[in-house]
């Protein structure tokens, strides 16, 4: 019969030990180790000393083991949460490709600030207008109107500036850039 721990079921203990064998980030590994050490009867102070972790971290994961929530060791992601997901990007692309008037606004062109406000209201994801512009640039889009680019012509006119009594000579040259 397997040895009994203080908090974990034999299944939870085995699952946590199995996860320790995989290549985990240090923070995830520490969570599992805290719960296993607590289950083995070590105190919070002993765990903090052994793993060199903060008391708050140890207290939290000991409580997770005590309440039967050891299986949630990887639910809380590390680092800054990613707010921009694929749905957000698709919606941003759709909005910028259409007129704001289609969505009840009185203006004709989107700005990054209005896109940010609209998406925050619609999807509950708030990001800055600078970030909106960065995302649009990555997607090859912009809130700026496209300019029509026609071939540039340079014109030079040479006038003969003399008295009005003589005929006026007008020479005109148009230069068009051609490729070689």
Where are the chain's structural domains? Answer: 10-72, 86-138
Task: Count CB neighbours of 50 within 10 A.
Answer: 13
In this predicted structure, what is the pLDDT of residue 75? 75
* CA 173 to chain CA mean position, Å: 54
Model confidence at 65, pLDDT cuts 50, 70, 90, reads very high
Average pLDDT of the residues in 46-52: 95
Q: Which residue has the tokens 């921009």?
A: 84
**5-45 tens-digit pLDDT:** 899 999 999 999 999 988 888 888 999 999 999 999 999 99
How far is Cα 134 from Cα 142, in angstroms, rounded to an integer? 9
The predicted structure's pLDDT at residue 81: 55
Q: Are the CB atoms for 50 and 42 separated by under 8 Å?
A: yes
**What's the whole-number average pLDDT of the chain?**
83
- Please report the pLDDT score of residue 1 as a whole number: 45
Q: Which DSSP helix (H) or strand (E) runs through 170?
A: strand 170-176
Say how far residue 46 (Cα) sits from the centre of its chain: 39
Task: Say whether pLDDT at 163 is over 60.
Answer: no
Burial environment of residue 173 by CB neighbours within 10 A (0 to 12, 13 to 18, 19 or more): exposed
The answer to whether residue 115 scores a pLDDT higher than 90 is yes
């Amino acid at each position: 019969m397997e040895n009994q721990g203080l908090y974990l079921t034999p299944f939870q203990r085995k699952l946590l030990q199995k996860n320790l064998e995989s290549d985990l980030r240090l923070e995830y590994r520490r969570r599992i180790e805290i719960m296993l050490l607590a289950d083995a009867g070590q105190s919070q102070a002993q765990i903090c000393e052994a793993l060199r972790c903060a008391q708050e971290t140890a207290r939290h994961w000991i409580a997770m083991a005590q309440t039967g929530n050891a299986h949630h060791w990887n639910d809380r992601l590390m680092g800054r949460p990613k707010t921009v997901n694929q749905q957000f990007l698709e919606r941003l692309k759709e909005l910028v490709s259409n007129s704001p008037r289609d969505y009840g606004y009185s203006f004709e062109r989107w700005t990054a600030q209005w896109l940010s406000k609209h998406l925050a209201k619609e999807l509950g994801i708030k990001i800055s207008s600078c970030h909106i512009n960065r995302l649009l640039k990555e997607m090859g889009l912009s809130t700026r109107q496209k300019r029509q680019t026609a071939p540039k012509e340079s014109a030079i006119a040479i006038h003969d500036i003399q008295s009005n009594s003589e005929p006026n000579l007008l020479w005109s040259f148009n230069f068009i850039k051609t490729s070689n």
